[in-house]
Amino acid sequence: MTMARERHLERIAEVRAGTSSERVPYPIHIRECEVLGARMLGSALLRLTLGGDGAAGFESHAPCEHVKLIFPDEHGELRLPEPDGLKLRWPRPMPVSREYTVRRYDPDAREIDLDIALHAGGLAADWATTVAPGARVHVAGPPGGVVVPDSYDSYLLGGDITALPAIARRLEELPATAAGWTFVEVADGSEEIELVAPEGVAVRWLHRGTAAPGTSDILERAVRTVQVPRGERVFVWLAGEAGVLKPLRRWVRDELGIPHEDCDITGYWKRGVTNFDEDHNDGEGHGHGH
């Protein structure tokens, strides 16, 4: 286990020092954490802080990494995955779970922050708004994340409220000299939060208004205004509703000509689909708990 642990840490360091992004898998663990508290960020994000002994040894390396919160099924039964080498073996049918970006991990305080996008009828959102400090919850992952070098000429980030936690973390972790563009679609100004971004990264909030989430082309239109100077290498990170991202995928590939290793475009959710999972390849998936 120690050798494997060292291997993925070595790989993360190599990618960071290199020229192209790469998804690096980490050993996947299941842990029981304690709810330390919750507070609102703007009108649409709830920051859930987890901790306790179960948070010791947690790993956090990439702004897009995610964990699954596991809940009892409709019969009240909590069925958990079991450790299987460096991965987890999941029971069938799959347990009820929802997936969230790791917004922050403080190893000294043993605190894990998850920013949850609130929406009516969401299982985890409803739980998070009513859960009392001291409650326990099982956390699986993260299974890995996309590690991005600091060597790109510019960075293009965009998404909706479900992508905002990863965007906020990536902006904080970019080098102070970074340049680029960030676009965040929200309903209105009440959903905006404070972002800490390098001076050279322009941040634009896009107000969707009364349109339902996942039905507006406001993000697509804004992102398509970006003009990358000839010869510059740009890293593109986009996440949100799968249908909204479809035309942007084509634009990034065909019009910007961005190679696969220089972009990460992920459908976190899909209108009308509960717990949408775009990518089953890492044993955890990417469907976020919108």
Q: What is the CATH number of the domain that holds 76?
A: 2.40.30.10
The whole domain housing 78 covers 6-145
Task: Using the 3D structure, point to which of 121, 145, 169 is the last residue of a domain.
Answer: 145
Q: Kindly state the average pLDDT of the residues 282-288.
A: 40
- Note whether 36 and 156 are same-domain residues: no
In a domain, 171, yes or no: yes
Task: Using the 3D structure, point to which of 145, 175, 197 is the last residue of a domain.
Answer: 145
Q: Give the span between the Cα atoms of 168 and 222, in whole angstroms.
A: 18
CB count, 10 Å around CB of 258?
A: 19
Q: Kindly state the average pLDDT of the residues 222-238.
A: 95
Residue whose token pair is 């079991």: 82
Q: pLDDT tens-digit profile of 1-41?
A: 455 557 999 999 999 999 999 999 999 999 999 999 999 99
In a domain, 285, yes or no: no
Task: Using the 3D structure, point to which of 93, 115, 145 is the last residue of a domain.
Answer: 145
What six digits make up the tokens of 135? 């409650």
In a domain, 211, yes or no: yes
State the pTM of this model.
0.93
Measured at the CA of 14, the angle between CA 10 and CA 17, to 5 degrees, comes to 140
pLDDT the model gives residue 273? 78
Mean confidence (pLDDT) of the chain: 92
Total tally of structural domains belonging to the chain:
2
Contact yes or no for 263/236 (Cβ under 8 A): yes
Residue 134: strand, helix, or coil: coil
- Note whether 42 and 114 are same-domain residues: yes
